[in-house]
Amino acid sequence: MLGEQIIKGMAVTARNFFESYVSKDRLTTVQYPEERLPQKGNTRQFPFLVYDGDDWEKGLRCVACQICEKECPPKCIYIVKSKDKKPDYKGQPQIYPLRFDIDISVCMSCSICVEVCPFESIKMNTEFELSTADRFGGLLFTKEQLAKPNSYYQKVHPNDAAESDAVIASEKAKAEAKAKAAAEAKAKAAAAAAATAATPVPPATTT
Amino acid sequence: MGNMFTALDQIFVNVLHWLVSFVPEPWHPFASALLCISFILMVFPAFFSIITIFERKGIGRIQNRYGPNRVGIPFTKIRLCGFGQFVPDGLKMLTKEDIVPRAADKLVHFLAPVVMLIPVLLAYAVLPFGRKMTMTDYDAGLLFFFAIGGAVELAVFMAGWSSRNKYSLLGAMRAIAQMISYEIPLILSAVTVVMVVGSLKLVDIIAAQNHYAYGIAQWNVFTPWGLLGFMLFFIASLAESNRTPFDLPEAESEIIAGYFTEYSGFKFALFFLGEYLGMFAISGLGITLFLGGWTSPVSFLTWIPSYIWFFTKLITIIFVFIWIRATLPRMRMDQLMNFAWKFMLPLALINILVAGIWHFMAVDWQRWIVCSFLVVFSYVILGRGLMRGQKLGKRNYRYAE
């Protein structure tokens, strides 16, 4: 009969109307500033620099090797090397970046810088609420703005952070083992030298 | 107790008389008219602004969205569930640039929104909003309403013609075709009420429905001819107020808002207002004719003030309008015309016959059977006729995939 389908359609919309007040599942809208969806594990927005410890200037992992600057496809990274050196987490003296700027208005979030970095220093951030009234200065992030603690990295990308921590730890262990071996060899050499000083035999060449 | 409810029922009438008593005797009619006009100009645009929010929120809920829920009281955290939205909406409308196309007929272009609004507001003059709350109680109130309502078509065509825009003109042509086609079933379905009641006076029409049998009101809609008449009236009023599924004159997706394509700012707001006020007026007339006007549906609720009943019914009808808008897609022009001339017009004519039979048969159960049978039979047969040759279901495209 005429009008049957109209009644059916009206019933569907009426159900939508009333159920939207009852069941939360019907309303898929997330009311953004108050409610947020959890971010996906692989979310990436713009890079940041990881530092260890509490002092961002001292703990910055970046050694200003400039690989990321060279590899960056849109050339949004600008690095100025330091003249002096300071010890890194392994205790090795390294140069450090005097300036490290990323223009996020140019950055295309490709994460190539992260892939090429040999020092686990530059990583992708998940922060996306970066709108600003100043489209030049406000979008040019300096070293201070880019530096984030390792704990932050562990929070935003737990899996990647664990991997990177493992790499750092193994590097550190290797370095320590090397230092230990070197110290032992030194001690042995010193002992040998002491022994040769005591007994006049031709000194063993230790290389 | 009864006295208090009577006082509450007549509060607006008494306030009006009290206010009028301040002016000298010869000015009484003038002051009274002025106050009534200001009442209409205050209440119905306010009602319009609230209804726009209800519509947006209601359609949102029907589409499983929230709808506007942000704007509340400025500089506070109070959001009022978004019911403050009409204030920024109105401000936006008022502060937008008023653009007049260079090729437009400037005078007619300027006059069209005004011509749209004036008849719509005039139509409220004869509507009874409550007991003794009719602004002018014409003997031919119904005729006045339809005569005034016909002037809206003029405004629509003025707007479409003067804009010098093909979309506007197309929209105006569609509007004229549609409004004239649907005015006939509209008036013919109202004629049944006039036949049975025997008066064109809207107050008399309500008085004829204002009695109760077994505690239930004797509204016209509770009779076979009244039910069919109300359905026809309702569908035709949907078309008259250019609401979905009959919103061809302002089809956004094909002719870009039709006759008001070239209107912006306050003139657009006037069109918008005129359209909604027209919708309220025609719903109010439908309530008066078929739903007993300001009377209560059951006898034990008669103590509730009459104007509250009127506005409750009005809101209900408007909600059904919104519900239909959120459900049905827009019709095609040929479907629209077929529906008006092949289905609604014959049905309205048959309904006049049914009302005549109802009037002249003895007040008995037999007339219920005869009239109900006639109504259902003609509905089914005419519906079959309209659907003949129509294949409903999934559409097969010959060339496109």
Which chain A residue shows the shortest CA-CA distance from B61?
A: A17
Partner residue facing A1 (CB), from B61, B327, B380: B380
pLDDT, average across residues B242-264: 80
CB–CB contact B64 A16 (8 Å): yes
State the pLDDT confidence band at B220, using cuts at 50, 70 and 90.
Answer: confident
pLDDT, average across residues B56-75: 84
Q: Residue B14 corresponds to which amino acid?
A: N
Continuous H helices in B124-199: 141-149, 151-162, 166-197
CB–CB contact B386 A2 (8 Å): yes
- Per-residue pLDDT at B2: 66
CB–CB contact B392 A5 (8 Å): yes
pLDDT, average across residues B71-82: 76
Partner residue facing B61 (CB), from A1, A2, A17: A17
pLDDT, tens digit (0-9, with 9 covering 90-100), for A109-118? 888 998 898 8
State the pLDDT confidence band at B1, using cuts at 50, 70 and 90.
Answer: low
Which contacts of B311-317 are long-range, i.e. CB under 8 A and separated by 24 or more positions?
Answer: B311/B47, B311/B129, B313/B287, B314/B280, B314/B283, B314/B284, B314/B287, B317/B234, B317/B283, B317/B286, B317/B287
Q: What's the start-to-end Cα distance of chain B, in Å? A: 72
Distance from CA of A119 to the nearest CA of B (A): 47
pLDDT, tens digit (0-9, with 9 covering 90-100), for A65-94? 888 888 899 999 899 988 888 877 777 788
Distance from CA of B385 to the nearest CA of A (A): 10
For the complex shown, is ipTM > 0.95? no
A17 close contact with B: CB closer than 8 A: yes
Which chain A residue shows the shortest CA-CA distance from B68?
A: A31
Please identify among residues 30-69 of chain A the ones whose CB lies closer than 8 Å to any CB of chain B.
31
Distance from CA of B176 to the nearest CA of A (A): 26
pLDDT, tens digit (0-9, with 9 covering 90-100), for A168-198? 888 888 888 888 888 888 888 888 888 877 7
Question: B327: which chain A residues are within 8 Å (Cβ-Cβ)?
Answer: 6, 9-10, 12-13
pLDDT, average across residues A132-155: 86
Q: Residue A95 corresponds to which amino acid?
A: I
- Per-residue pLDDT at A204: 56
Burial class (CB in 10 A: 0-12, 13-18, 19+), B286: buried
A9 close contact with B: CB closer than 8 A: yes
Partner residue facing A14 (CB), from B323, B343, B392: B323
pLDDT at A158 over 70: yes
State the pLDDT confidence band at B226, using cuts at 50, 70 and 90.
Answer: confident
- Per-residue pLDDT at A202: 56
Nearest to A21 by CA among B65, B72, B320: B65
Question: B65: which chain A residues are within 8 Å (Cβ-Cβ)?
Answer: 27, 29
**What is the spatial distance between Cα B386 and Cα B241, in angstroms, rounded to a whole number?**
24
Residue B168 in tokens:
């506007």
Give which of A10, A17, A27, A30 to mutate to test B binding, by max B Cβ within 10 Å: A17
- Per-residue pLDDT at A11: 92
CB–CB contact A2 B65 (8 Å): no
Up-side HSE of residue A159: CA atoms within 13 Å toward CB? 4
**What is the spatial distance between Cα B242 and Cα B232, in angstroms, rounded to a whole number?**
15
3-class DSSP state for residue A99?
strand
- Per-residue pLDDT at B283: 92
CB–CB contact A9 B61 (8 Å): no
Distance from CA of A128 to the nearest CA of B (A): 23
pLDDT at B80 over 80: no
CB–CB contact A2 B387 (8 Å): yes
Contact predicate A31/B81, CB 8 Å: no
Domain map (residue ranges) of chain A:
47-125+133-165
pLDDT, tens digit (0-9, with 9 covering 90-100), for B163-204? 888 888 888 888 888 888 888 999 999 999 998 888 888 888
Beta bridge partners of A79: A100
pLDDT, tens digit (0-9, with 9 covering 90-100), for B355-395? 888 888 777 788 888 888 888 888 888 888 877 777 667 77
pLDDT at A205 over 60: no
State the pLDDT confidence band at B318, using cuts at 50, 70 and 90.
Answer: very high
CB–CB contact B328 A9 (8 Å): yes
Which of A89-98, B48-57, B193-202, B307-316 has the lowest average pLDDT? A89-98
Please identify among residues 129-188 of chain B the ones whose CB lies closer than 8 Å to any CB of chain A.
none
A28 close contact with B: CB closer than 8 A: yes
- Per-residue pLDDT at A180: 86
What dotted CATH number matches A47-125+133-165?
A: 3.30.70.3270
Burial class (CB in 10 A: 0-12, 13-18, 19+), B364: exposed
Continuous H helices in B241-392: 252-255, 265-290, 306-327, 333-338, 345-360, 365-387
pLDDT at B214 over 70: yes
CB–CB contact B64 A2 (8 Å): no
A29 close contact with B: CB closer than 8 A: yes
CB neighbourhood size of A203 (10 A): 11
A26 close contact with B: CB closer than 8 A: yes
pLDDT at A207 over 60: no
Rounded to whole angstroms, the maximal C-alpha distance in chain A is 122
Nearest to B113 by CA among B50, B178, B46, B163: B163
B384 close contact with A: CB closer than 8 A: yes
State the pLDDT confidence band at B103, using cuts at 50, 70 and 90.
Answer: confident
Q: What is the pTM of this model?
A: 0.77
- Per-residue pLDDT at A175: 84
What radius of gyration do chain B's Cα atoms show?
Answer: 23
State the pLDDT confidence band at B262, using cuts at 50, 70 and 90.
Answer: confident
Domain map (residue ranges) of chain B:
12-95, 99-345
Express as a percent the part of chain A with pLDDT over 70.
96
pLDDT, tens digit (0-9, with 9 covering 90-100), for B324-340? 988 888 888 888 888 88
Question: B383: which chain A residues are within 8 Å (Cβ-Cβ)?
Answer: 1-3
Partner residue facing B62 (CB), from A6, A16, A31: A16
State the pLDDT confidence band at B68, using cuts at 50, 70 and 90.
Answer: confident
pLDDT at A206 over 70: no
Question: A13: which chain B residues are within 8 Å (Cβ-Cβ)?
Answer: 62, 323, 326-327
CB–CB contact B327 A2 (8 Å): no
Please identify among residues 56-95 of chain B the ones whose CB lies closer than 8 Å to any CB of chain A.
58, 61-66
Contact predicate B232/B348, CB 8 Å: yes
- Per-residue pLDDT at B233: 92
pLDDT at A23 over 70: yes
